Amino acid sequence: MQLSLTGKNVLVTGGASGIGLACARAFAAEGARVVALDRSVGSTDIHALPAIPAIHTVRADVTDEADLGAAVAEAVSHLGGLDVVVGCAGISGPVGTPLVETSAADIAAVLAVNVTGQLLLAKLTYPHLSDGGAIVLLASDSAFVSAPGMVPYCASKGAVVALTRALAVEFDRVRVNCVCPSIVDTPMARGDLGDAALDQADFPVQTADEVAGHVLYLASPPARAVNGQALLTDFGYSARSGFPA
């Protein structure tokens, strides 16, 4: 499939590692011009991208409107406009901690990055997006299913799904969709679950590159009819009944 992304101007948040870095690399490999935003820029190998165009990096905190606004302005100045915006910045919070033992500060931190950060990203980039452009947000299968100790994270990702639909209605010049993957092999997931849990998993684990492929499709012209949708990529697990058959 020809994605027709050559020459597109793309901004990716959370672009220093994990899914965000995979997206930045994938867009660049397709011939797009990419600016990667991350509050950890400088501590990764994001510049080590052999055989594909350089990716411009900017430090930004998505929870700080002034800081993010300045970063978006720098990205727009560098690129000359925006065609695609990808919101990958996210945190998991205290995974495995019951809600009754979770502090208000920890809850607020998860919501600030995963929800407010996406809202601010949409608010600040929409005026610069070209007509027919696209926003793709990263949600999670945790918007639909849950495990103990995941309440703030699940709430935040459920909000991203609702936000996606609301933005698709309000932003009439661009399309807005989100991707909802199950467990992805990223530094964040390994930090939360441990290496053994992923290396010896008895369930399928996605790669960040696989998720990036889903993002690129939703951002591309061939997906022009797809708007306001949550693409659930969980190997069909959510379709299975928990009742014995």
- DSSP code per residue over 123-188: HHHGGGEEEEEEEEEE--GGGT---TT-HHHHHHHHHHHHHHHHHHHH-TTSEEEEEEES-EESHH
> What mean pLDDT do residues 72-78 have?
98
Q: Report which of residues 46 and 174 the model is more confident about.
A: 174
Question: Domain 9-227: which topology?
Answer: Rossmann fold (3.40.50)
What residue segments make up the domains of the chain, in order of their start? 9-227
pTM as predicted? 0.94
Q: Which of 225, 234, 189, 163 is nearest to 22 (CA)?
A: 189
88 falls in which pLDDT band (50, 70, 90)?
Answer: very high
197 falls in which pLDDT band (50, 70, 90)?
Answer: confident
Window from 21-35, 146-160, 183-197 with minimum mean pLDDT: 183-197
> What mean pLDDT do residues 49-78 have?
88
49 falls in which pLDDT band (50, 70, 90)?
Answer: very low
d(C-alpha 33, C-alpha 29), whole Å: 9
pLDDT in tens, 182-196: 989 888 888 877 787
Is the predicted pLDDT of residue 127 greater than 50, yes or no? yes
Q: How is residue 52 written in tokens?
A: 């594909």
> What mean pLDDT do residues 25-54 have?
75
Which contiguous run of DSSP H or E holds residue 10?
A: strand 9-13
d(C-alpha 107, C-alpha 79), whole Å: 35
Share of the chain above pLDDT 90, in %: 83
> What mean pLDDT do residues 65-91 have?
98
Is the predicted pLDDT of residue 21 greater than 60, yes or no? yes
- Active-site residue, 126 included: no
> What mean pLDDT do residues 14-21 have?
96
pLDDT in tens, 223-234: 999 999 999 999
Share of the chain above pLDDT 70, in %: 94
Which residue is catalytic, options 126, 153, 217, 237? Answer: 153
Mean per-residue pLDDT of the chain: 92
Which contiguous run of DSSP H or E holds residue 222?
A: none
42 falls in which pLDDT band (50, 70, 90)?
Answer: low
11 within 8 A of 37, measured Cβ to Cβ: yes
Is the predicted pLDDT of residue 44 greater than 80, yes or no? no
Burial of 50 from C-beta contacts in 10 A (0-12 / 13-18 / 19+): exposed
Q: What is the pLDDT of residue 18?
A: 96
217 within 8 A of 244, measured Cβ to Cβ: no
Is the predicted pLDDT of residue 244 greater than 80, yes or no? no
Q: What is the pLDDT of residue 43?
A: 46
Q: What is the pLDDT of residue 114?
A: 98
Provide the edge-to-edge strand list for the sheet that holds 82-87.
Answer: 56-59, 33-38, 9-13, 82-87, 129-138, 175-181, 230-233
d(C-alpha 79, C-alpha 32), whole Å: 10
